[in-house]
Amino acid sequence: MKRICLLITLLLSLSASAQTTIKQDANIAGMVNEISAKNIEAIVRKLVSFKTRHTLSDTISKTEGIGAARNWVKAEYERYAKASGGRMTVMFDEFTQPKGSRIDKPTPMKNVLAVLKGTDTADKRVYIVSGHYDSRATDVMDAKSFAPGAVDDASGTAVSMELARVMAKQKFPATIIFMAVVGEEQGLYGSANVAKRAKAEGWQIDAMLNNDIVGNTYGMETGLKDNRSVRVFSEGVPAAETEKEAAIRNSVGGENDSPARELARYIKEVAERYVEQLDVKLIYRRDRYLRGGDHTPFSQQGFTAVRITEMNEDFNRQHQDVRKEKGVDYGDLPDFAD
């Protein structure tokens, strides 16, 4: 997770500052060095302490459920914002999700957004770094069982929060939004609401960086441990491509030149310049096979978005009830995160 934070710190710092350089920038290097694995672990363990963060779980309790979790995340963002000199504002993005296949009744939902306003009033660019703070057990409708969600996706939420802590003290011409979204496991509902809002309000989003499942380094299928590599997924043909754009792409053979692919290449170039022994793997797919994430609604609205994910996945941890079966531990517990 620390490496993911380092990677995104670099990208946001260079992009939002409209600055590129071959040599290392001392200010950026300083932010990289400030990223704390201790802080990241503390955030993950605190999120796990809410027992479940299922989107349909308790909203009244101050210690358990989705309500307690989002209130704590908001309070933490507000604490970080104190260092921003009034430039960072924290808010709930509230909406009601209608009943659907994974929502059994109309449900009020809340994303948490920490907006670090750019210093240049003429610069309308927006950069978004996101993780989803909801969790689930094996049954996607089980809102009561213990669902720690340490890697999926307290880890991605921790990335967003740690970056907000470090970068709140800095000034950038462009605006950066650090967010924790809800409803990912039920159907990408939280990110879809922000993406639709961004489209309707005319946000000029240059990049949306989705961090989902970034805290594990052990590959269950391979038995290998890899704490040096990270995958960046990027779409080739833009989801919102028009017929005219498709015709141009076909005529020039530009299926590998999409904005998402260029963003992914930039991530690799910048991250490997500042973080020793980091290997950014460019995966030319929108997401893993038959899987989805919170970058997808932004792609569908025509924004440039990528997914950042750990190199190896342990499927004994993802979407599993916490249990021990035939000597094998299951469940997304923090002790199995790196």
pLDDT in tens, 26-39: 999 999 999 999 99
The answer to whether the pTM exceeds 0.85 is yes
Q: What is the pLDDT of residue 337?
A: 93
- Name the domain count of the chain: 1
Rounded-to-integer distance, Cα 101 and Cα 302, Å: 26
**Full pLDDT tens readout for the chain, 338 residues:** 777 776 777 667 766 665 555 688 899 999 999 999 999 999 999 999 999 999 999 999 999 999 999 999 999 999 999 999 999 999 999 999 999 989 999 999 999 999 999 999 999 999 999 999 999 999 999 999 999 999 999 999 999 999 999 999 999 999 999 999 999 999 999 999 999 999 999 999 999 999 999 999 998 888 889 999 999 999 999 999 999 999 999 999 988 999 999 999 999 999 999 998 999 999 999 999 889 999 999 999 999 999 999 999 999 999 999 999 999 999 999 999 99
End-to-end CA distance of the chain: 7
Domain with 107 in it: 2-336
pLDDT in tens, 321-333: 999 999 999 999 9
Q: Which residues pair with 180 in a beta bridge?
A: 112, 131
Rounded-to-integer distance, Cα 237 and Cα 241, Å: 7
Question: Which CATH number fits the domain that encloses residue 57?
Answer: 3.40.630.10
Q: What is the pLDDT of residue 161?
A: 98
DSSP 68: H
Beta strands in 117-227 (DSSP E): 125-132, 175-181, 204-211
C-alpha pair distances (Å), 30 with each of 25, 35, 71, 174, 221:
9, 9, 30, 20, 37
User: Encoding tokens for residue 325?
Assistant: 């079966």
3-class SS letters over 263-289: HHHHHHHHHHHHCCCCEEEEECCCCCC
Enclosing H/E stretch for 11: helix 2-16
Q: What is the pLDDT of residue 14?
A: 65
Q: What is the pLDDT of residue 19?
A: 54
